[in-house]
Amino acid sequence: MIINIMPTARPATSGPLVAVLAYDGLCTFEFGIASEVFGLARPEMGRNWYRYSVCGIEKGPLRAAGGLLVNATTGLAVLRKADLIVIPGWRGIEAPVPAELIGELVRAHKRGARIMSLCSGIAVLAAAGLLANRRATTHWRYTASITTRYPLIRMEPDKLYVDEGDVLTAAGSAAGIDLCLHVVRKEYGAQAANSVARRLVVPPHREGGQVQFIQRPVLKERENSRFGSLIDWLRSHLNRPHSIDDLARRAGMSPRTFQRRFQEATGSPPGEWLVAERVRLAQEHLEKGGRASLEEIAAACGFGSLQTMRHHFKRRTGVAPTSYQQRFSPAPKYAAR
């Protein structure tokens, strides 16, 4: 199948220009993530939404994963005016990067463009020298290779994504969704990011790092069905205190069996899972702004006290609740209108 990638019929917009690379050996899934978040028509976001372009770095047709052939209608010249450049994976973690592409990326970076890699796309950023002495992440399978070849990169292998301001990196393929939503959140605010997430049918935030996805056994169907309703109930009642004995009775198990099977099903002990969910709920409250005090938010999320919320919130997010609120609830950089 041959796909001609041409500008789609969408309302004219005037926001940041996003250029997504296309190349022979294209990683189709990561390319699709960038296209879904930045390239679709979103009239509800107003005229100030992203502009979108696909940059073919080579003459087509370009082979893409899944038996597709791609013809991009723009070339490297678009990188000279892009505000955000997305590298959707790379054809091989050790595959050479064309010198012409490296030169364009370096020039774009120097003039102030942000450059973002998804999954193995870190190989392109690293080859261009844009990650030396910077923090970064990639799929856990590629961490050792990148660390060996580029020892100056400060790898953070457990992170879903790392934002260094002008360079951004995402971990395994689906973590590209997390990073793209993060970019939308920074530029247009939490409500816009939440709207895009709803269209994607994904959570606007994911807790934890990619270590939770490494070599984890698949759950038996009966465990998923047993804990599914309990987890749904807990998320609707996070403001209440929950003891292991109460939860075990609700699940129809002994406390010891419940703790073991709950951790198998979720990857976390019940207490840690509850803290993570309460922090996630607190993030949602803080992003909304409004008149609720921190004490009221702590109570609504089941922390019991503001001091307890501050402790767990900072431990899990790296920032205090007040700092988080200031970062995500003020007027965004690009207000949709």
Tokens of 287: 């992003």
Write the pLDDT tens digit of every residue in 231-260.
889 999 999 999 999 999 999 999 999 999
**Across 17-26, average pLDDT:** 96
Residue, of 196 and 221, whose pLDDT is higher: 196
Write the pLDDT tens digit of every residue in 118-144.
999 999 999 999 999 999 999 988 999
Query: What integer pLDDT is reported at residue 174 of this predicted model?
Result: 85
Number of H helices, E strands in the chain: 13, 11
Q: Among 2.160.10.10, 2.40.30.10, 3.90.870.10, 1.10.10.60, what is the CATH number of 217-337?
A: 1.10.10.60
Residue, of 76 and 189, whose pLDDT is higher: 76
- Domain range list for the chain: 2-200, 217-337
202: CB partners within 8 A, 6+ apart:
177, 181
For the question of whether the overall pTM of this predicted structure is more than 0.95, the answer is no
Query: What integer pLDDT is reported at residue 211 of this predicted model?
Result: 47
Query: What integer pLDDT is reported at residue 220 of this predicted model?
Result: 45
Write the pLDDT tens digit of every residue in 152-194.
999 988 888 999 999 999 998 788 999 999 999 889 988 888 8
| Mean confidence (pLDDT) of the chain | 86
Residue, of 229 and 93, whose pLDDT is higher: 93
Residue, of 110 and 226, whose pLDDT is higher: 110
**Across 291-310, average pLDDT:** 94
**Across 251-270, average pLDDT:** 89
**Across 27-36, average pLDDT:** 94
Residue 215 has pLDDT above 90, yes or no: no
Residue 199 has pLDDT above 60, yes or no: yes
| pLDDT above 70 as % of the chain | 86
Cα(192)–Cα(116) distance, integer angstroms? 20
**Across 62-79, average pLDDT:** 90
Q: Which CATH class is domain 2-200?
A: alpha beta
Q: % helix / strand / coil in the chain, to the nearest 5?
A: 50, 15, 40
Query: What integer pLDDT is reported at residue 329 of this predicted model?
Result: 62
Query: What integer pLDDT is reported at residue 38 of this predicted model?
Result: 95
Query: What integer pLDDT is reported at residue 212 of this predicted model?
Result: 41
pLDDT tier, 214 (very low <50, low <70, confident <90, very high otherwise) = very low
CB atoms within 10 A of CB 191: 16
